[in-house]
Amino acid sequence: MKIAFIENPTPWLVRQHVQVGLGILYLATILEKHHEVRVVRLDKNEDILKLKEYDIFCFTGTTLDYPIIYDIAKLMFCKMRGKKVFYGGNHATAMWRELQHVIYFDAICVGEGESLILQMVEDVKKNKLQRVYKADELIKDIDTIPFPDRSLIEGSHGGDVFAYGKNYTGKGNENFITSRGCLFNCAFCASEVMWHKKTRFRSVKNIVTELEEIIDKYNTKQLRICDDNLTTNRKRCIELCKEIEKFSIAWRCSVRVESLTPEICEAIAKAGCKEVSIGIESGDQRVLEFLNKKNSPKKVKEGCKTAHEAGIGVRALFMIGTPGERKDTPEINKKYLEDLAYNILTLATFLPLPATQIWNNPKKYNCEIISKDFKLYNKDFYTSEGKRIYKPLIRNLFLTEEQQIDNVNRMEKFVIETDKINKG
């Protein structure tokens, strides 16, 4: 069969399609041994109509992607009748009970698709396609998953790995992953619905083999390691770093800040880590407690300082408009940032994502969810007359709506004034 894996348009980004979608690549790689497979990047929704030769279309994406995926599937239903549409990923896994009734999707994939995708395609051939396919268990040994065939995607693979587009090697960039899952349970994060608060690690040998492959094929010398927390297992992290060091590559990863001990920072820096992304969220301890971060502003400062002393840049990830905020939270954040060792700052506006603790039990977090209309979730894209408009999606019971909006506006102003804002 002819199968197209689709990267939907993302018009809210400064540049579209600059990073390879590892999730669909893993699935496409499994199918390409049995079927004709292509990965297609759409610049606009209507581009899907150029692909009428394909039998099955596979979509995945976050909650922000869902409205566009829905619109594309609806367009296909009207203009390309008879084609099969599969939908999977985090949002599909969190919302499958509701999505199984959406007529534009022929099948919903719940959980890890590698264990399901072959069966889904075979069921199309046999005319026995089900509405919902559920992976009852996580894949125990993720070394058994084939390396993603990056040649299936034309164009950019890794985007700008480092802050301000810095290039350390002059060579190609790739996305890469060495583990799946996260042990932590932040109240705003939907990781648990996909990974069940478990982390599974690829073996160091398996990782080294893939590194050798992509360096040989694509002359890759810069990586964005996409693990939720690369440093969760310290012993394994140090062992892995000793092997990565041999490749003389530059890379960035995401970490929990309490893991940034002098030993870990020395190990990752020696292996070529130039930058770490840290989910700080807020400098207000009251907010961190509501978000169940299991952290403190003091520990964050210590970890960022340790990274800087090891020569590692810090990408600080903050959120505003969250449960637990008070009227003075932006001022607390501003004062905190003045004394924080960081290089670039990403400011996200809080969204109540499906299947998170806040979504499931908003009263516990002193808030009410105002809207579950996902078309309203991306204020960087859905605007009025070309202007960005912030409308709270939750009602923070500590604040009025006007105070919530004012908090977001003040915090955004603060971040812009630092001249360190990530504009990606």
Count of residues making up the chain: 424
Q: What is the pLDDT of residues 307-363, one digit of tens each?
A: 999 999 999 999 999 999 999 999 999 999 999 999 999 999 999 999 999 999 999
Residues linked to residue 345 through DSSP beta bridges, in sequence order: 316, 421
Within 13 Å and on the Cβ side, how many CA atoms surround 233?
19
Q: What is the pLDDT of residue 47?
A: 97
Which residue type, as a one-letter code, is found at position 40?
V
Q: What is the pLDDT of residues 281-295, one digit of tens each?
A: 999 999 999 999 999
Q: What percent of the chain has pLDDT over 70?
A: 97
Contact status, residue 43 vs residue 21, Cβ threshold 8 Å:
no
d(CA 88, CA 133): 10
Asked if the 2-134 domain carries CATH number 2.60.120.10, the reply is: no
- As its CATH architecture, domain 157-347 has Alpha-Beta Barrel (3.20)
- Say yes or no to pLDDT of 385 above 60: no
Q: What is the pLDDT of residue 380?
A: 59
Q: What is the pLDDT of residue 154?
A: 79
Q: What is the pLDDT of residue 12?
A: 80
SS3 155: coil
Q: What is the pLDDT of residues 235-289, one digit of tens each?
A: 999 999 999 999 999 999 999 999 999 999 999 999 999 999 999 999 999 999 9
Contact status, residue 63 vs residue 376, Cβ threshold 8 Å:
no
Q: What is the pLDDT of residues 86-96, one digit of tens each?
A: 999 999 999 99
Q: What percent of the chain has pLDDT over 90?
A: 87
Contact status, residue 175 vs residue 20, Cβ threshold 8 Å:
yes
Q: pLDDT class for 2, splitting at 50, 70, 90?
A: very high
Tell me the CA distances in angstroms from 112 to 98, 146, 194, 279, one per residue in order.
19, 14, 8, 25
Q: What angle do CA 375, 380, 385 make, to 5 degrees?
A: 85
Q: What is the pLDDT of residue 11?
A: 83
Q: pLDDT class for 387, splitting at 50, 70, 90?
A: low
Any idea which residue has 């939908």 for tokens?
87
SS3 86: strand
- Say yes or no to pLDDT of 303 above 80: yes
- Say yes or no to pLDDT of 18 above 90: no
Q: What is the pLDDT of residues 165-206, one digit of tens each?
A: 899 998 889 999 999 999 999 999 999 999 999 999 999 999
Contact status, residue 321 vs residue 349, Cβ threshold 8 Å:
yes
Mean pLDDT on 132-141: 95
Tell me the CA distances in angstroms from 379 to 13, 383, 408, one per residue in order.
12, 6, 12
Mean pLDDT on 141-150: 96
d(CA 100, CA 82): 18
- Say yes or no to pLDDT of 10 above 80: yes
> What is the number of other CB atoms lying within 10 angstroms of the CB of residue 306?
19
Q: What is the pLDDT of residue 388?
A: 67
> What is the number of other CB atoms lying within 10 angstroms of the CB of residue 77?
16
SS3 114: helix
Q: pLDDT class for 386, splitting at 50, 70, 90?
A: low
Mean pLDDT on 224-233: 94
pTM for this entry: 0.94
Any idea which residue has 């290039």 for tokens?
167
388 exposed, middle or buried (CB, 10 Å; 0-12, 13-18, 19+)? Answer: exposed
Contact status, residue 350 vs residue 325, Cβ threshold 8 Å:
no
Mean pLDDT on 46-69: 96
Q: Considering the chain, what is the average pLDDT of its residues?
A: 94
d(CA 355, CA 185): 12
Mean pLDDT on 145-154: 93
- List, as one string, the DSSP characters of 256-307: -GGG--HHHHHHHHHTTEEEEEEEEE-S-HHHHHHTT----HHHHHHHHHHH
Q: What is the pLDDT of residue 379?
A: 67
Contact status, residue 32 vs residue 84, Cβ threshold 8 Å:
no
Domain parsing of the chain, residue ranges: 2-134, 157-347
